[in-house]
Amino acid sequence: MSSHYYQICKTCVMDSTMAGTVFNEEGICNNCTEFPEKAAIHWMPNDKGVARLDAMLAKIKEQGAGKEYDCIFGLSGGVDSSFLAFKAKEWGLRPLVLHVDGGWNTELAAANIRCVVDENGYDLVTEVVDWETMKDLQKAYLRAGVTNQDVPQDHVFIASLFHYARKHKIKAIISGHNFATESTPMRWQHPAMDLINLRAIHKAHGERPIQGYRTISALEYYIFSPLVRLIKFYHPLNLIPYDKEESIKFLESKGWRNYQRKHGESIFTRIFQDCILPKKFGIDKRRAHLTSLIHSGGMSRDRALAILKEPVCNEIEIRREIEFFCRKIGLTVEEFDQLMVEGSRSHKYYKNWDCYYNFMKYFKGAVLRLRG
């Protein structure tokens, strides 16, 4: 694929601006050609999925027998995690609910979290990240110019899930991540669980020690937690028919309120996806989301193309939010604007886990295969 030639897939809306997207001779991208094989493994909204779900729930309940909780999941107040909360109740699970407050919650997100927890009678633990550390990490990532600016939020979220799972001797982490709306890989991202990379970026661009911020090492994440402590992620929404619009209607009937704008649960996520990604990196993340919906039958390609003709965001509204963001994080708007036009760097410019990753992934897979 030449960098000077623009191309868009003939069956989805991924194009040559999206890193890692390549096309065959018929003009079809690798996301489309790889989808059937991945779907056969991960996505079963059918009778086969019902059987898998029944077996999954039975295992979770068996492992949690006699304990206060049989599983844990993270609740952001967004659609997927909120819907999962109601399904967990319907399935008879006894989850501990975790919310990680990184400092960017909207008021509506907080209200939705409380609504979901109260409606289902769940116990909620809130992990409040040290704000000075969080904003220092986020400024470090901005200065580094790497694409995955979500790492500081994503890393502490996963680290906190494992922390509370260990603390309460929980073996099952259930997730609202689902194949129907999120199957298209973000090939431009670097894994948020690369603690080596996070520390290297912070060392180069941070201004204070990391404290009040949970981390998890690659060995803990890939080896000790799944193979020794037997903590496992489950994705039950992949085993049922999942329609996001229908899920929103259901949640609204329970008192949950829909967000007027995309990414309504997090101010930072809104700025990252609606401003930083398209302006600094030329990435329109909507393409990946819409492609997932095309693949799962939730949207036509024509409808997706029409959506992409609309602006990523309202420029006046996003500018107001950038001003608020800069005041809160300790940057001037001029500094932020300068960072948006400065050159970007690969995550691999900084020390990272690449020399260990393939071995850990192979070792984990080999052990799991031996265990059956």
User: Which CATH number is 346's domain given?
Assistant: 3.40.50.620
In-domain check, residue 34: no
For 317-334, what is the mean pLDDT?
94
Check pLDDT > 70 for residue 4: no
In-domain check, residue 250: yes
Q: Which tokens in the block code for residue 311?
A: 């602006």
Distances (CA, A) of 78 to 22, 121, 156: 32, 18, 18
Check pLDDT > 70 for residue 2: no
For 222-244, what is the mean pLDDT?
94
Q: Can you give the residue range of the structural domain that contains 166?
A: 44-371
CA angle 33/37/40 to nearest 5° reads: 140
Rounded distance between C-alpha atoms, residue 235 and residue 229, angstroms: 19
Check pLDDT > 50 for residue 1: no
Task: Using a pLDDT cut of 70, give the percent of the chain over it.
Answer: 98
Predicted pLDDT at 323: 96
Rounded distance between C-alpha atoms, residue 47 and residue 68, angstroms: 31
In-domain check, residue 31: no
* Confidence band for 372, pLDDT divided at 50, 70 and 90: low
Number of residues assigned to the chain: 372
For 9-152, where are the E strands, in sequence order? 71-74, 95-101, 123-128
Predicted pLDDT at 261: 67
* Mean residue pLDDT across the chain: 94
Exposure letters 327-351 (e unless 16+ CB within 10 A, then b): eebebeeeebeebeeeeeeebeebe
Distances (CA, A) of 341 to 50, 143, 188, 278, 279: 50, 11, 19, 12, 8
Distances (CA, A) of 248 to 103, 124, 289, 346, 348: 25, 22, 17, 37, 39
In-domain check, residue 27: no
In-domain check, residue 18: no
In-domain check, residue 32: no
Predicted pLDDT at 68: 97
Q: What is the pLDDT of residues 243-278, one digit of tens each?
A: 999 999 999 999 999 987 666 688 899 999 999 999
In-domain check, residue 28: no
Task: Using a pLDDT cut of 90, give the percent of the chain over it.
Answer: 88
For 298-308, what is the mean pLDDT?
96
For 350-367, what is the mean pLDDT?
87
Q: How many other CB atoms are found less than 10 A from the CB of residue 370?
A: 7
Check pLDDT > 70 for residue 293: yes
How many domains does the chain divide into?
1
- Label residue 91 exposed, middle or buried (CB < 10 Å: 0-12, 13-18, 19+): middle
* Confidence band for 356, pLDDT divided at 50, 70 and 90: confident
Check pLDDT > 50 for residue 138: yes
For 312-334, what is the mean pLDDT?
93
In-domain check, residue 345: yes
